[in-house]
């Protein structure tokens, strides 16, 4: 397991020092066998492509997704309340592995499937109100390699990572407050990519309303 910690050099903005993006990239975190087990399992996931409203216009998201989580961990994501589905076997094993290896606690995982390089995810931060304060987000890539952009919200300084199958990216708190990320279209990519982002939500956040 090769661990690389990379980030921006400190950026001077007026009298403020802007801290580097706090993330850890672990190349080849999963073995080929572990990757294959998840890829096979994902063929049975009830992946959906919901419609979202952006600037008053409804359109289908350019990927498909499923949210697996503990009880009372529904998630309001891109303006849609997604109900928690029960954990599949290998996704649950990966969650346990993250807890064992990094003491990384999560209670839900968003799985995204990008069929090929025409599918993408726009600039955003994972900063929804139900995400537990101070928690990190762990993101695992399977299948096709894709570029992953990180940019500072104020300076617009950008880092480009290429995430390969089996790589794990941990986005540490408070990265989501100061940085956005995206997965841009890459028309040369013809193969599917799966991404699992493990998150920790405040239990019962939506149920309490
Ligand atoms: O596919 C990825 O690497 C990014 C996923 C992501 O940004 C998200 O699920 O919020």
Instruction: Give the model confidence (pLDDT) of 143-176 as tens digits.
Output: 999 999 999 999 999 999 999 999 999 999 999 9
For residue 166, being part of any structural domain is answered with yes
For atom 8 of ligand 1, the residue with the nearest CA is 197
- Note down the domain range covering 98: 22-199
* 191 DSSP assignment: S
Q: What's the average model confidence in pLDDT over 99-128?
A: 97
For residue 138, being part of any structural domain is answered with yes
What is the pLDDT confidence band of residue 1, given thresholds at 50, 70 and 90? low
For residue 46, being part of any structural domain is answered with yes
- CA distance linking residue 182 with residue 180, whole number of Å: 7
What pLDDT was estimated at residue 17?
64
Atom number of ligand 1 nearest to Cα 139: 3
What pLDDT was estimated at residue 11?
54
For residue 179, being part of any structural domain is answered with yes
Atom number of ligand 1 nearest to Cα 195: 1
Q: Which of 19-23, 103-107, 126-130, 151-155 has the least mean pLDDT?
A: 19-23
* 144 DSSP assignment: S
- What's the CA-to-centroid distance between 209 and ligand 1, angstroms? 27
The number of domains in the chain is: 1
For residue 33, being part of any structural domain is answered with yes
What pLDDT was estimated at residue 123?
96
Residue 195 near ligand 1, beta carbon < 6 Å: yes
Say which CATH number the domain at 178 has: 2.60.120.590
Residue 197 near ligand 1, beta carbon < 6 Å: yes
Burial level of 7, CB count in 10 A (0-12/13-18/19+)?
A: middle
Of 114 and 128, the one with more pLDDT: 114
Residue 139 near ligand 1, beta carbon < 6 Å: yes
What pLDDT was estimated at residue 16?
61
Measured between alpha carbons, how far is residue 43 from residues 19, 46, 86, 168 in Å? Answer: 40, 9, 16, 21
Measured between alpha carbons, how far is residue 160 from residues 43, 152, 209 in Å? Answer: 29, 12, 39
What is the pLDDT confidence band of residue 82, given thresholds at 50, 70 and 90? confident
What pLDDT was estimated at residue 136?
96
For residue 117, being part of any structural domain is answered with yes
Give the model confidence (pLDDT) of 2-27 as tens digits: 555 545 555 555 556 667 889 999 99
Tell me the torsion sign for CA atoms 96, 140, 68, 38.
Answer: negative
């Amino acid at each position: 397991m090769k661990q690389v910690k990379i980030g921006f050099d400190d950026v001077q903005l007026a009298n403020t020092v802007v801290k580097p993006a706090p993330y850890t990239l672990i190349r080849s975190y999963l073995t080929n066998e572990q990757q294959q087990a998840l890829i096979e399992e994902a063929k049975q996931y009830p992946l959906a492509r919901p419609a979202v409203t952006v600037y008053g216009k409804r359109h289908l998201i350019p990927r498909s997704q499923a949210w697996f989580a503990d009880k009372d961990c529904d998630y309001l994501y891109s303006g849609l309340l997604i109900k928690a589905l029960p954990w599949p076997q290998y996704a649950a094993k990966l969650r346990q592995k993250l807890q064992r290896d990094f003491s990384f606690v999560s209670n839900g995982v968003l799985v995204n499937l990008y069929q090929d390089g025409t599918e993408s995810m726009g600039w955003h931060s994972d900063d929804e109100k139900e995400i537990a304060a101070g928690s990190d987000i762990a993101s695992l890539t399977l299948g096709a390699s894709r570029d992953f952009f990180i940019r500072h919200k104020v300076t617009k300084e950008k880092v480009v990572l290429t995430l390969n199958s089996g790589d794990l990216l941990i986005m540490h708190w408070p990265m989501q407050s100061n940085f956005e990320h995206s997965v841009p279209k890459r028309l040369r990519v013809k193969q599917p990519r799966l991404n699992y982002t493990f998150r920790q939500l405040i239990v019962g956040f939506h149920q309490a309303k």
